[in-house]
Structure 1
Amino acid sequence: MLMITNYTVDVLKDPFGILAGKRYEFKLDLDIPEDDELHSEHGIYARIILKVDEDQTSVVSNDLLERTTDRLLDFDMEAEEEEAAILFCKEHIPA
């Protein structure tokens, strides 16, 4: 089960106005059990970029990174975890 301990969300600016819709960058701090191969003593977070265009929301990117180094990890979330993270993000889009 995906345990999100904290999150931040930022609106990504389009300085040239060429992209349709709005983009939001979510950083979700994850609580990873020590016995999981993904566990790191530095902490792990998911960076998810969502595109919102009228009533359509889609994922632009989804990455796992090490907290203190921002090193991109060569792991993917399991399908259920990814769905839960994306649902969490959709529920927390700023108004």
Structure 2
Amino acid sequence: MNIIEATIEKLDDPFGILTGDRYEIFLMLDVDQDDDLFSENGMMLKLIVVVEQSNYKIAQYDFIEKSTEKIVDFALDEEEKEPVLSYCKKLIAVEESEKSEMN
């Protein structure tokens, strides 16, 4: 499973109920044909990442077939979670850097 493209959006909490910042991240995946996760429709991983102070965690995620937008019942392996979270941390850092440059 390789990440080939990503999008990120900071989620607003207009009522201030939630602590920390939340980001919705879509990772477009390149999956080997012999992998159980492979789909001819393409595959993406949708994540909600929470950042509180300097702690990052994956609050929720779903594997989704790209062209049908159907949720696929798969889980990230423990050894996959850390590289995915690390990738998300970098995306968040770039997103925040770009926002601060605009202000």
Q: Deviations over 1:29-77 (max 9, x none)?
A: 1101111121111111111111112222221112111111221111112
Indicate the percent of aligned positions where both proteins have the same amino acid. 37
1:5-24 correspondence to structure 2 within 5 Å:
5-24=4-23
TM-score (normalizing by structure 2): 0.84
Q: Which residue of 2 aligns with 1:78?
A: 77
Higher relative contact order (CA 8 A, sep 6+): 1
**Amino acid of the structure 2 residue aligned with 1:34:** Q
What SS does structure 1 have at the residue aligned with 2:9?
Answer: strand
Structure 1 window deviating more from structure 2 (55-64 vs 39-48): it is 55-64
**Amino acid of the structure 2 residue aligned with 1:25:** E
Instruction: Work out which of the two has the higher radius of gyration on C-alpha atoms and give 1 or 2.
Output: 2
Alpha-carbon distance in structure 2 between the residues aligned to 1:32 and 1:74:
16
Structure 1 window deviating more from structure 2 (18-27 vs 70-79): it is 70-79
The answer to whether the 8 A contact 2:10-2:24 is kept is yes
TM-score (normalizing by structure 1): 0.90
**Amino acid of the structure 1 residue aligned with 2:23:** Y
Stretches of structure 2 that go unaligned for 5 or more consecutive residues are 97-103
What SS does structure 2 have at the residue aligned with 1:92?
Answer: helix
For the pair 1:30 / 2:2, whether they are aligned, the reply is no
Higher-helix-fraction structure: 2
1:82 Cα shift? Answer: 2.0
Alpha-carbon distance in structure 1 between the residues aligned to 2:70 and 2:77:
20
Aligned alpha-carbon RMSD (Å) = 1.2
The answer to whether the 8 A contact 2:8-2:24 is kept is yes
Q: Which residue of 2 aligns with 1:88?
A: 87
The answer to whether the 8 A contact 2:57-2:85 is kept is no
Q: Which residue of 2 aligns with 1:69?
A: 68
**Amino acid of the structure 2 residue aligned with 1:20:** T
Q: Which residue of 1 aligns with 2:53?
A: 54
Aligned residues: 94
